[in-house]
Amino acid sequence: MIISYYYSRFLKKLRGAAIKNSHIHVSSKIEAGTSFINSAMGRHSFCGYDCAILNAEIGSFCSIASNVKVGGVAHPVHFVSTSPVFLSHKDSVKSKFASHAYLPEIKTHIGSDVWIGDGAFIKAGVHIGTGAVIGMGAVVTKDVDSYAMVAGNPAKLIKKRFPNHIIEQLLASKWWELSDTDLAKVGMHVDEPEEFVRKVMSL
C-alpha cells in the first residue's frame, strides 16, 4: 500500500506544470498539471494540482488549492457570433471564415496572503484583496475586500477575518513585504494579530 501511494504520487508529479510567459518567485511553487500562463506569483506562495491560471498577478504568501481556475479568455458577445472561427488568433478550431482581431488580456489581481479553496473559479478582471479567503467551489464574479471570507455561487461575504481596526493595522504594516530575516523575528506571534502588528511596527 505504501509503495503504491508513493508510485501514484510520483506519476502525478511526473506530468509537470505548463508555465509560459510567467514569473514565479524562486521560493514559490506550481504543482503538476497546472497551466500558468502570462502570470506572476510573489514570494512563498504555492498553487496546487490541476489549476488553470491565466493573466493573473498573484501576491506573496498565497495558498491556492487544487483545481482552481483564475481568469480566462473572453468571447466577443457584441459580435454576431462568439465562435473563434471568425477570429484571427490560433485556437482549438481548425476552420476560419474571417480574421477579426479579438483577444483581450484581462488581468486578475490577487493580493498577498490570500487562501483560495479547492475548485474555486475566479472571473477574469476580479480584484481579490490581501488576506482574503475564498471558499472551496466558490464562483467569484466580483471584487473581494481585504480579509473578507467569501463562499458560494455566486460568492458572497460570510464574515471578515478580523475586526476592522485590526484589518487596518495589518494592511498598514505590509508585513508580507518584510525580509525573511525580519519575518523570523515576528513569526512566533502570528497567532496573536495585535501583538504581531506591534512587533512588525517596532522593527
CATH number at residue 63: 2.160.10.10
Same-domain pairing of 122 and 56 = yes
Q: How many CA atoms lie within 13 A of 128 on its CB side?
A: 37
What is the count of structural domains for the chain? 3
Whether 1 is in a domain gets the answer no
What is the rounded distance in angstroms from the CA atom of residue 61 to the CA atom of residue 70?
17
User: Which domain, by its residues, includes 186?
Assistant: 162-203
pLDDT tens-digit readout, 90-130: 877 888 888 888 777 789 999 999 999 999 999 999 999 99
Query: Contacts for 158-166 with beta carbons within 8 Å, 24 or more apart?
Result: 161/131, 161/133, 162/193, 166/193, 166/194, 166/197
Report, as residue numbers or ranges, the catalytic residues: 75
Per-residue pLDDT at 100: 85
Residue bearing cell 505590509: 174
Closest CA to 132 of 188, 75, 61, 186: 61
**pLDDT over 60 at 7, yes or no:** no
SS3 label, residue 169: helix
Whether 97 is in a domain gets the answer yes
- Distances in Å between the Cα of 75 and the Cα atoms of 62, 92, 100, 153 are 29, 14, 12, 22
Whether 125 is in a domain gets the answer yes
Same-domain pairing of 21 and 97 = no
What is the rounded distance in angstroms from the CA atom of residue 36 to the CA atom of residue 22?
7
Whether 2 is in a domain gets the answer no
What's the pLDDT band for 73 if we cut at 50, 70, 90?
confident
Per-residue pLDDT at 72: 80
Q: Take residue 135 and report the three cell numbers written for it.
A: 471558499
Per-residue pLDDT at 13: 64
Same-domain pairing of 65 and 23 = yes
Same-domain pairing of 180 and 82 = no
Same-domain pairing of 47 and 65 = yes
pLDDT tens-digit readout, 16-55: 678 899 999 999 999 999 999 999 999 999 999 999 999 9
Same-domain pairing of 119 and 171 = no
Same-domain pairing of 51 and 40 = yes
> Is 75:57 a contact under the CB 8 Å cutoff?
no
Same-domain pairing of 32 and 132 = yes
